[in-house]
Amino acid sequence: MGLNGAAQAPTLEMVAARAGVSRATVSRVVNGSPKVKPELISAVNAAIAELNYVPNRAARSLASRRTESIALVIPESTSRVFADPFFAMIIQGVAVHLAATDYTLGIVVASEANPDKTRRYLTGGNIDGALVVSHHSGDHSYERLGRTVPVVFGGRPLHADDGESYYVDVDNIAGAVTATRHLIERGRRHIATIAGPADMPAGFDRELGWRRAMTEAGLDTGLIEWGDFSPASGAMAMRRLLARKVPLDAVFAANDQMALGAYAVIAESGLSIPDDIAVVGYDDDALGSAAAPALTTMHQSMTELGAAMAEKLVKLIEGEPAEHATILQTRLIVRGSS
C-alpha cells in the first residue's frame, strides 16, 4: 500500500518478474516489436492481464519520439471552413478512422497571411504527420513539408508528377465529363461552366472534363466563368454569364456551393430551373439536396476520402508500405435541377 492507502500501480519491472523475463523483453512486447519469441509474448501478455498493467504512453512516446498527434491542415479562411460542408465531411472521415488508433487529431486552419507560423508548428516536433486539404499550387510550404514529416494530400497536388507525393482524390475529370454529358443527353446545347480556381487541381480537372465533353459533342466551349468554390463567387459568375446576352440553357458548376449561388441569380433574372436553365453541381452536399429544386450533382464521398487519407498517413508514420495515389470514384445523382 502507498502512503495514501492506495495500491501501488503495477510497473514494467513487476510485469517482467511475473512473466519471468527481462525488463527489455517486456518493453519490446509492449511496443509491438517482432523480435520476440511467441511463447515469451504469451507470457508477457498473461502477466500484463493478471496485474492489470497499463503502459506509460508518455514514456513510450518519448522513447519512440512520437507525439501520437496528427494535424489536419486547411489553408483557407475560418469563415470558409465553417460554412462549407465539404470540410465537415472530410473531418468526420478522418476522425472516425483515427478513433480506432492511438492518434489524436488537431485541426489547423492556416491562412496564408502567416505561413511561417504554420510551418514552424508542423515541423517543430508537435505532430507525427499532416493531412492537407484544399491547397493551392502556390502553397509551396506544403510541398516542402513532406521532406520533414509524413504528409498526405486531399486532392491531387499539381506537383504530383514528382512521384513522391501521397494523396487521395476522386476522378474529377471523369466526373465532370459525366455531369456535362448528362446535360447534353437532356438536349441542352449551350452549356456554360462555373469553374473552380485554376490553381487548384479540382478546379483545373473539372474544367478540363467539361471541355472534353463539350468538344466531343461539337459544342462551343466559350461559356466559362471562374469562381473560388464559394456561393458568392458562383452568383457573380452567373451574373457575368447572363450579362453576355447569348444563348444559355445549362450550367455545370464545379461544386454545389457555386451552383447554389447561381440558383439565386437565375431566380432574380426571372428564369426557371430547369425549364430555362438546367443546373448540375459537384460534391453532393446536404444543402444541394435541400434546395428547390433539388440539385443534380456528382456524388463524391468526402467522409470516405477523409478516412482513406488518415489510413494512408498512419501507414506512413508507422513505416508500412502505402500507395502514392488512391483514386475514388464519383457517381451522378439526378434530381430536379436537370
Hey, is 22 helix, strand or coil? coil
pLDDT digits (tens, 9 = 90+) for 212-229: 999 999 999 999 999 999
Write out pLDDT tens, residues 287-312: 899 999 999 999 999 999 999 999 99
181, 163: one domain: no
Helix, strand, coil % over all residues of the chain, rounded to 5: 45, 15, 40
Residue 1: predicted pLDDT: 37
Number of domains forming the structure of the chain: 3
Mean per-residue pLDDT, 152-166: 77
Q: Name the CA dihedral angle for 269, 270, 275, 281, rounded to a multiple of 10 degrees.
A: 40
Is position 239 within any domain?
A: yes
pTM: 0.74
Q: What is the pLDDT of residues 65-83, one digit of tens each?
A: 678 899 998 877 777 777 7
> Whose CA is closest to 159, among 123, 120, 178, 132?
132
Residue 338 lies in a domain: no
Contact 36/25 with Cβ under 8 angstroms? yes
The reply to whether 158 and 188 lie within a common domain is no
| CB neighbour class for 64 (10 Å; exposed up to 12, middle 13-18, buried from 19) | exposed
Confidence band of 6 (pLDDT split at 50, 70, 90): very low
Mean pLDDT for the chain overall: 87
User: Same domain, yes or no, for 153 and 261?
Assistant: no
Q: For position 110, what pLDDT does the model report?
A: 75
| Domain span at 85 | 69-169+302-328
E strand segments, 80-156: 104-109, 129-133, 151-154
**335 assigned to some structural domain:** no
Q: What is the pLDDT of residue 112?
A: 61
Question: Could you give phi then psi for residue 175, rounded to 5 degrees?
Answer: -65, -45
* Angle separating helix axes 201-216 and 172-185, nearest 10 degrees: 40
Assigned domain for 336 exists: no
| 246 and 315 belong to one structural domain | no
Alpha helices in 105-189 (DSSP H): 115-123, 140-145, 172-185
- Domain check: are 133 and 98 in the same one? yes
Judge if 78 and 103 occupy the same domain.
yes
| Contact by Cβ (8 Å): 240, 203 | no
The pLDDT-based confidence of 137 (bands split at 50, 70, 90) is: low
Residue 136: CATH number of its domain: 3.40.50.2300
Q: Assign 200 a pLDDT band (cuts: 50, 70, 90).
A: confident
CATH code, domain with 26: 1.10.260.40
| Residue 268, in any domain of the structure | yes
- For 104, the grid coordinates are 489524436
pLDDT over 60 (residue 123): yes
